[in-house]
Structure 1
Amino acid sequence: MEQQFQQEVMMLATLKHPNIVRFIGACRKPMVWCIVTEYAKGGSVRQSLMKRQNRSVPLKLAVKQALDVARGMAYVHGLGLIHRDLKSDNLLIFGDKSIKIADFGVARIEVQTEGMTPETGTYRWMAPEMIQHRPYTQRVDVYSFGIVLWELITGMLPFQNMTAVQAAFAVVNKNVRPIIPNDCLPVLRDIMTRCWDPNPDVRPPFAEIVGMLENAETEIMTTVRKARFRCCMTQPMTAD
């Protein structure tokens, strides 16, 4: 526990990005071990979705928040780090609805993973190679991001009809993934399916994911503008 505490303090103290929770200080006196960060008014993404009774957030906001996560993770990976426990519980919502990544207690520098803890993270978001105790890379975070994106789009808990262990078994042995809604934008469907591909080499890096999400954001804005234009054109003309 002491090693993990020190690890998180050192990690947070060095990370400076608009989508990483800001470190303020730490205390390690007997019986009082704590890390102080900036306050996230909206709680975690998972808490927010539970309050909404697992109803999805508006699509425009979901993509914006997914972009926040992807940009933060692109920064983390750019430093040669792996988060290893990216999930909705570790994504904090601030007053302007932006998201910042938190909980770097199990984050590590990417090295030869034979010497790293094989099973670190949370089953519902965990990449199959981690579940199977195989060597892994930064692409385990990409897999987890695919699950998070699905949560933002659907508002639901991944594998909600299974226990965590059942979900892990299904992911590894049956290649089961969350069901993508039929009306999902093709670009978002593509991101999710590529992110949670069983082959880590197929998963896109976060820099590429950012570009794909920016395209999705543009597509959504264009669709909204067209819908508003059609609405205006169908309104009856009135005399002055």
Structure 2
Amino acid sequence: MTTIVTYTTWLTTTSLVRVPTCQSTVSIAYKHQQWWLDCYVCRQQQCRSSDSHTAILNHASGLRPHPPANHSIGNSVFRPSRVSHPLNNDALSRALMDPQYPTQPLMDFEEWTLDLGKLNMGMPFAQGAFGKLYKGTYNGEDVAIKLLEKPENDLERAQLMEQQFAQEVMMLATLKHPNIVRFIGACRKPIVWCIVTEYAKGGSVRQFLMRRQNRSVPLKLAVKQALDVQGNGLCSWIRSDNLLIFSDKSIKIADFGVARIEVQTEGMTPETGTYRWMAPEMIQHRPYTQKVDVYSFGIVLWELITGMLPFANMTAVQAAFAVVNKGVRPIVPPDCPPSLGEIMTRCWDANPDARPPFTEIVAMLENAEMEIMSTVRKARFRCCISEPMTTE
């Protein structure tokens, strides 16, 4: 069944960040979610991603900054009855569940305020520069809980983080789409902010690749479902650790994130964490179209084939410099089927107009599938068609 996505025009520019002029649908690439699960690629090398930065679209919101208060996470009181597993020295979860800190209003999104009596904190499973991710339950449902710590000694950073927290709540509460994680609710306290979404049992695409080790990634036939979409797209920052796999094998974009503030407060642009996947025109803040998604798709395809982090021997900023000034791209494996190599190199062409539209990419992937399955010499790419993908 052909899926058609309607897109809205994007973007105006402020002196600080780009913002959408109106509510938009999710990026074209995420409508092609089945592709991530339906090509045939092989994991060559386990690689741990050191980047925890994620992208966020800044937008004015009804969430208002709260006035400074003399609160300290170190002074919060641990309430073991509210936490399902003891968390040694976990000040963030203690601060969230401690009743001495009042819950602050979400203003325009008050209906999304969490009832902390229904929230059970589990163990943390990921950590970034400004907070942690936990597994837990809310009203009996498995959820992912993101806790963010308000910087106590950096007012500028704290205000920017709160602005982006407000933006993330606004986007999750208003953008209803099958390829965006389902929003459960949020909570503000003086020293910690909380966002709760549905839990992805399969983890991220990058975690999936790491778990596979040297085994092939079993992907099936759904390239035909991948897309028949045309028009202007909401330009996104596609990256393997921001795509989550759910138990029904669907893939959704997650975490509009605030970690990018880490670089922005140093006078650089806020997108630094996504540089490994970002098209040159976005890095340079030149005008861009949905072809930036095509570029990022090519980088993620390379990840699926190699299992490696793009530009793993560079920092994100070094990678950005190399991409823009040196024309550096990931190295296509010598035994990669030519058809897959062509898709990647065309997708990450420096000239956006030379990058193929997604409709053409789908056809190229279908042809690559036939080549992979008919070429004995490329046996390592013949990825166990009958083996079901699991999220265990």
TM-score normalised by the chain length of structure 2: 0.45
**3-state SS, counterpart of residue 310 of structure 2:** coil
Higher helix share: 1
Aligned AA for 1:220? I
1:103 maps onto 2:254 in alignment: yes
The range that moved more, 80-89 or 149-158, is 80-89
Find the counterpart in structure 2 of residue 163 from structure 1.
Answer: 315
**C-alpha distance in structure 1 between counterparts of 2:355 and 2:255, whole Å:** 22
Change (3 A) 1:26 1:59: closer
**C-alpha distance in structure 2 between counterparts of 1:80 and 1:10, whole Å:** 20
1:40 maps onto 2:200 in alignment: yes
Change (3 A) 1:64 1:210: same
1:93 maps onto 2:245 in alignment: yes
1:209 maps onto 2:361 in alignment: yes
Find the counterpart in structure 2 of residue 109 from structure 1.
Answer: none
Find the counterpart in structure 2 of residue 149 from structure 1.
Answer: 301
**C-alpha distance in structure 1 between counterparts of 2:217 and 2:233, whole Å:** 30
**C-alpha distance in structure 1 between counterparts of 2:354 and 2:196, whole Å:** 37
- Alpha-carbon deviation of 1:79? 7.1
- Deviation string for 1:64-94 (max 9, x for gaps)? 69x49x92xx47x657432421000112234
**C-alpha distance in structure 2 between counterparts of 1:168 and 1:82, whole Å:** 22
Q: Of residues 184, 202, 212 in structure 2, which corresponds to 1:26?
A: 184
- Deviation string for 1:99-137 (max 9, x for gaps)? 51313738xxxxxxxxxxx86460100100011111111
How many correspondences in the alignment?
198
**C-alpha distance in structure 2 between counterparts of 1:209 and 1:22, whole Å:** 25
**3-state SS, counterpart of residue 81 of structure 1:** coil
- Alpha-carbon deviation of 1:216? 1.4
**3-state SS, counterpart of residue 191 of structure 1:** helix
Find the counterpart in structure 2 of residue 115 from structure 1.
Answer: none
Change (3 A) 1:189 1:124: same
**C-alpha distance in structure 1 between counterparts of 2:247 and 2:350, whole Å:** 36
- Deviating above 6 A after TM superposition, structure 1's stretches of 4 or more consecutive aligned residues are none
Find the counterpart in structure 1 of residue 264 from structure 2.
Answer: none
**C-alpha distance in structure 2 between counterparts of 1:150 and 1:137, whole Å:** 22
1:191–1:212 CA contact under 8 A, matched in 2: yes
Change (3 A) 1:57 1:102: farther
For structure 1, which runs of at least 5 residues remain unmatched after alignment?
107-117, 228-240
- Deviation string for 1:119-176 (max 9, x for gaps)? 6460100100011111111111110110000000011111111111111000000000
**3-state SS, counterpart of residue 184 of structure 2:** strand
- Alpha-carbon deviation of 1:8? 3.4
1:49–1:155 CA contact under 8 A, matched in 2: yes
2:181–2:252 CA contact under 8 A, matched in 1: no
1:126–1:140 CA contact under 8 A, matched in 2: yes
Change (3 A) 1:126 1:86: same
1:56–1:154 CA contact under 8 A, matched in 2: no
TM-score normalised by the chain length of structure 1: 0.71
1:135 maps onto 2:259 in alignment: no
2:232–2:289 CA contact under 8 A, matched in 1: no
2:181–2:254 CA contact under 8 A, matched in 1: no
Q: Which has the higher contact order (CA 8 A, sep 6+)?
A: 2
For structure 2, which runs of at least 5 residues remain unmatched after alignment?
1-163, 258-268, 380-392
Change (3 A) 1:9 1:214: farther
- Specify the structure having the higher radius of gyration (Cα): 2
Identity of aligned residues (%): 57
Find the counterpart in structure 1 of residue 216 from structure 2.
Answer: 58
**C-alpha distance in structure 1 between counterparts of 2:233 and 2:270, whole Å:** 17
